[in-house]
Amino acid sequence: MLTLPGYWACLSYLNWELVKGYCTGCHSAMKFTQQKLTRDRWQELLVWMQKEQGLKGLFAEDEVKVLDYLSRHYTTEEEKRKQLVKRHKLDEETGLIVADNWILVKGNCTGCHSARKFLQQRLSRERWQEVIQWMQKNQGLVKFDSDTENKILNYLEAYYSPQG
Least distance from C-beta 6 to ligand HEC, angstroms? Answer: 24
Closest by Cα among 32, 117, 15 to 66: 15
Q: Are strands 97-98 and 89-90 parallel, antiparallel or unpaired?
A: antiparallel
Least distance from C-beta 63 to ligand HEC, angstroms? Answer: 8
**Total of chain residues touching ligand HEC, rule CB under 6 A:** 31
Q: Does residue 121 touch ligand HEC according to CB under 6 A?
A: yes
Sequence-ordered list of residues with C-beta below 8 angstroms from that of 160, at least 6 positions apart, any chain = 118, 119, 121, 122, 123, 128
Provide the mask over 74-103, with x wherever binding to ligand HEC is found by CB under 6 A and - wherever it is not.
Answer: ------------------------------
From its phi and psi, is residue 9 left (phi > 0), alpha (psi between -120 and 50) or beta? alpha
Least distance from C-beta 26 to ligand HEC, angstroms? Answer: 3
Q: Which of 20, 31, 36, 82 binds ligand HEC (CB under 6 A)?
A: 31
Least distance from C-beta 12 to ligand HEC, angstroms? Answer: 14
Distances (CA, A) of 67 to 21, 29, 39, 78: 14, 15, 7, 18
Contacting range for ligand HEC; rule: CB under 6 A; set: 3-11, 22-30, 83-91, 94-102: 22-30
Q: Does residue 67 touch ligand HEC according to CB under 6 A?
A: no
Task: State whether residue 98 is helix, strand or coil.
Answer: strand
